[in-house]
């Protein structure tokens, strides 16, 4: 291997590492935003906190934005402590779960829930998405 080939491949490897560290940061930040949405909405749908249409709308929009930001942040090799390697073994299934979550979140915002019952039916599909995807693809540390 020539000297310049070596330097070039080291530079490429470093670039790949930085790119994936950035992806991990972006996707965990997106999930944190989704978690904040859940922290707001779960007590409401359980009946522990009063329904407020504006708060619900904001939390659903946050969730939708988080879901959009989460998408596409799992390039090959962007491993992390929280990501199950099964993601890259079943990438098509993982991607379809992400897209389903995005479309459920979009639908929930569009429903504009105006009472507890409509919020429950808007948000419950999303909670099922969290559970199903985490079971298969997240390592809880």
Q: Is 82 in the site for ligand HEC (CB under 6 A)?
A: yes
Residue from 31, 44, 59, 62 binding ligand HEC (CB under 6 A): 31
**DSSP structural state of residue 83:** B
Q: Does 35 bind ligand HEC (CB under 6 A)?
A: yes
Using rule CB under 6 A, residue 134 touches ligand HEC: yes
16, 26, 33, 38: residue in contact with ligand HEC (rule CB under 6 A): 38
Interface with ligand HEC, residue 122, by CB under 6 A:
no
- 25-47: burial string, b at 16+ Cβ within 10 Å, e else: eebbebbebbeebbebbeebbee
Alpha-carbon gap, residue 135 to 132, rounded angstroms: 5
Per the document, the length of the chain is: 141
Q: Applying CB under 6 A, which of residues 98, 108, 119, 122 lies at the interface with ligand HEC?
A: 98
101 lines the binding site for ligand HEC (CB under 6 A): yes
**Torsion sign across C-alpha atoms 79, 83, 85, 91:** negative
Q: Does 133 carry a binding-site annotation?
A: yes
Alpha-carbon dihedral sign for residues 70, 75, 81, 86: positive
Contact residues for ligand HEC, defined by CB under 6 A:
24, 27-28, 31-32, 34-35, 38, 80, 82-83, 97-98, 101, 126, 129-130, 133-134, 137-138
């Amino acid at each position: 291997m020539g000297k310049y080939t070596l330097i070039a491949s080291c530079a490429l490897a470093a670039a790949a590492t930085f790119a994936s560290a950035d992806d991990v940061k972006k996707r965990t930040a997106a999930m944190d935003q989704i978690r904040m949405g859940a922290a707001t909405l779960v007590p409401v749908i359980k009946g522990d906190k009063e329904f407020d249409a504006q708060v619900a709308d904001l939390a659903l929009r946050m969730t939708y934005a988080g879901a959009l930001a989460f998408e596409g942040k799992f390039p090959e090799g962007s491993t992390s402590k929280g990501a199950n390697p099964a993601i890259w073994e079943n990438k098509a299934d993982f991607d379809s779960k992400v897209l389903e979550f995005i479309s459920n979140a979009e639908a929930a915002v569009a429903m504009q829930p105006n009472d507890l019952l409509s919020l429950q039916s808007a948000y419950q599909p999303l909670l099922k998405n969290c559970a199903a995807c985490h079971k298969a693809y997240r390592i809880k540390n």
